[in-house]
Amino acid sequence: MKKFCFAVMCLSAILCCTMGLLFFSDALNPASANEASLSSSEHDVTIKQGDALVLPSEKDAALIKNWSSSDEDIVSVDSGGRIDALKQGEATVTAKGANGSSRSYSVTVESPAKKNADIFSTAYTANQDILKKNLSSKNKSKLPYQIMVNRSQNCVTVYTYDSDGKYTVPVRAMVCSCGIENRTRLGFYNIYFRTVWNPLVNDSYGQYVSGFDGDYLFHSVPYNDISKSSLKTEEFNKLGTPASRGCVRMASSDCKWVYDNCPGNTAVVIYDDDDPGPLGKPESIHITDLECQWDPTDDNEDNPYNGKTPQITGAEDVTLKVGESFEPAKDVAAFDTCGNDITEYMEIIGNPVTTRAGTYKVTYSVTDVLNRSAKVDITVTVE
């Protein structure tokens, strides 16, 4: 009987030691206990061609050992679960975890998103389907637009008419500069003449001029003479704030839009309101090179800004050892078409898992207020 009790005690001691070792092992390696919990549920993902996104959550990223795509021509995937949509179609992306666990993603790549083709204006546009219908209407008795100028907000919103014939549908918003000390007069007016160039005060000239009340005009920022390369750059940088003697100044592309699209008798309303308008107030772009006397929104083929795009600096390939840290935004900056720092608007897509060897793709992208974009891809290699 004593021998039996001794055997039982020995067996119990062995079991306790074994359980203790297992518990101690899990305490030292908590991930090993969690890796088996990788969900095997299937996820549906829709993405536009040319776009990229990261599939796993931050919590799941450490549990996944490798990734694969059923069709690398449609969807590629890197070691961190970042997918790139290469062409339209369907593919399955699979994440493999510990103990044979896995998770699958059914990825559908759709046609690429339509981009704003206007790379000269900062204007906001909307309701283009309604506008297109009105412009194609055979009823020519109704003018397509009404122009509303919010004097207090230095914002112009253009409306087209609704099904009842009322001008309630906003189609375009543009930043402007009204008169200092409220010299732009409130009221209801109509466009009564248009000309490409017109003399202004102080021996200056305005481009793409549309008059709406005597000497009160829509026109460009002033030029020193009748030359597109003689812009008063310091005045251009005032757009969005009161700056004129009463006229409504706009960037070249925007006053040209009014000149080209708003015929004589188009209604113009000047008013004050704390709300800039239903589309909001667009940003203006500032000129940093004051020696270049061109309006950056002018689409003239000789404009030196035409060939310029935003720039991203400091984004370079990186090689790390397992366990080293990676700061994607460190020493990386973005600048708009005119050289202004727009780093705060830069987007970064990628998921380098520096605790695991692999190859990871990181993309830096930015779009400025002229709808011009820049993109830089780097590779982060963890050895």
Residue 150 near residue 271 (C-beta atoms within 8 A):
yes
Domain with CATH 2.60.40.1080 in the chain: 38-110
Confidence at residue 372, expressed as pLDDT on a 0 to 100 scale: 96
Average pLDDT over residues 188-211: 97
Domain with CATH 2.60.40.10 in the chain: 311-382
- What are the CA-CA distances from residue 180 to residues 158, 177, 203 (Å)? 23, 9, 19
How much of the chain exceeds pLDDT 70, in percent? 89
pLDDT tens for each residue of 103-127:
899 999 999 977 666 899 999 999 9
Comparison of pLDDT for 251 and 20, the residue scoring more? 251
In angstroms, the CA 231 to CA 222 distance is: 6
Question: What architecture is the 38-110 domain classified under in CATH?
Answer: Sandwich (2.60)
Sign of the Cα torsion 259, 260, 266, 267 reads negative
- Nearest CA to 331 among 315, 344, 317, 347? 315
- Per-residue pLDDT band at 14 (split at 50, 70, 90): very low
Comparison of pLDDT for 375 and 28, the residue scoring more? 375
pLDDT at 137 over 60: yes
Confidence at residue 40, expressed as pLDDT on a 0 to 100 scale: 66
Range scoring the smallest mean pLDDT among 90-99, 166-175, 178-187, 204-213: 90-99
pLDDT tens for each residue of 267-294:
999 999 999 999 999 999 999 999 999 9
In angstroms, the CA 350 to CA 55 distance is: 10
Question: What architecture is the 124-271 domain classified under in CATH?
Answer: Beta Barrel (2.40)
Confidence at residue 114, expressed as pLDDT on a 0 to 100 scale: 76
Range scoring the smallest mean pLDDT among 5-9, 70-74, 182-186: 5-9
Average pLDDT over residues 143-165: 97
In angstroms, the CA 210 to CA 250 distance is: 11
For the entire predicted model, the pTM comes to 0.85
- Class of domain 311-382 as given by CATH: mainly beta
By CB neighbour count within 10 A (0-12 exposed, 13-18 middle, 19+ buried), where does 291 fall?
Answer: exposed
For residue 100, give the DSSP letter: G
- Per-residue pLDDT band at 90 (split at 50, 70, 90): very high
Comparison of pLDDT for 214 and 103, the residue scoring more? 214
Confidence at residue 116, expressed as pLDDT on a 0 to 100 scale: 62
